[in-house]
Copies of this chain bind each other. A is one copy, B any other.
């Protein structure tokens, strides 16, 4: 009975994620789902991407958090429209929440919405939220075995950024192991090395996001 209920909920989530995509298409908006562990650097990478993309695209952010609004306040200081999604303890974001939040924005005045998912390598990967593409962060201090230990996250993402790369020399972190395991579960994944501290890789990652957004915005 449990499994049946979970299955129903997931099917229902798929339906709603389709509805989110329809809403986005009607207003020509692209949505990117940003995921990673607690402390992987999601908010600071997002900030760096916004700085690089805001001249070209009208951007908004949905900040998912279990409690509080620290990250939303951080994004708001950039002068970017932001909505805080408080999951009230839940470990992931579902499409229904995105569907409810979208009317809070002036969608015709936007090109690109970033959703910062809950810091969690497990549950968020299971739920499509109506995103056009996914970006997963893995920070160097987490270790080079994480793709093998949390495969669904890395199998379902479109890009993987190895973040906090400025710390690389301080850790026993084998890039080749991450690449091998990531390509093993996801041969098409785009790989980046990024550091908000040094700036490394952020232009390349922003260019990749822009290319994906162009595909979506011109397809509609």
Q: Are B39 and A146 in contact (CB under 8 A)?
A: yes
A150 at the interface (CB under 8 A from B): yes
A98 at the interface (CB under 8 A from B): no
A191 at the interface (CB under 8 A from B): no
Contacts A39-B141, A70-B149; is A121 near B119 (CB within 8 Å)? yes
Q: Are A66 and B170 in contact (CB under 8 A)?
A: no
Flag A55-76 by CB within 8 Å of B: 1 or 0 each: 0000000000111101100000
By a CB distance below 8 angstroms, the chain B residues around A146 are: 38-39
Identify which of residues 168-186 in chain A touch chain B, using a CB-to-CB cut-off of 8 Å. 170
Flag A125-141 by CB within 8 Å of B: 1 or 0 each: 01000000000000101
A19 CA to B72 CA, complexed, in Å: 43
Tally of this chain's copies = 2
Contacts A39-B141, A39-B143, A120-B122; is A67 near B5 (CB within 8 Å)? no
Flag A74-113 by CB within 8 Å of B: 1 or 0 each: 0000000000000001010000000000000000000000
Min CB–CB distance A148 → chain B (angstroms): 5
Min CB–CB distance A75 → chain B (angstroms): 14
A47 at the interface (CB under 8 A from B): no
Min CB–CB distance A122 → chain B (angstroms): 4
Q: Are B145 and A70 in contact (CB under 8 A)?
A: yes
A142 at the interface (CB under 8 A from B): yes
A25 at the interface (CB under 8 A from B): no
By a CB distance below 8 angstroms, the chain B residues around A121 are: 38, 119-120
Q: Are B70 and A39 in contact (CB under 8 A)?
A: no
By a CB distance below 8 angstroms, the chain B residues around A67 are: 148-151
By a CB distance below 8 angstroms, the chain B residues around A2 are: 5, 9
By a CB distance below 8 angstroms, the chain B residues around A126 are: 89
Binding site for B on A (CB under 8 A): 1-2, 5, 9, 37-39, 65-68, 70-71, 89, 91, 118-123, 126, 139, 141-143, 145-146, 148-152, 164, 167, 170
The 9 closest A-B pairs by CB, nearest first: A39-B142, A141-B141, A91-B122, A39-B143, A37-B38, A91-B123, A38-B121, A5-B5, A67-B151
The 30 sampled A-B contact pairs (Cβ below 8 Å) are A1-B5, A2-B9, A5-B5, A37-B39, A38-B121, A38-B142, A38-B149, A39-B142, A39-B143, A39-B146, A65-B149, A66-B149, A67-B148, A70-B148, A70-B149, A89-B122, A89-B126, A91-B91, A91-B122, A91-B123, A118-B122, A119-B149, A119-B150, A120-B120, A120-B122, A122-B123, A123-B123, A139-B141, A167-B170, A170-B170
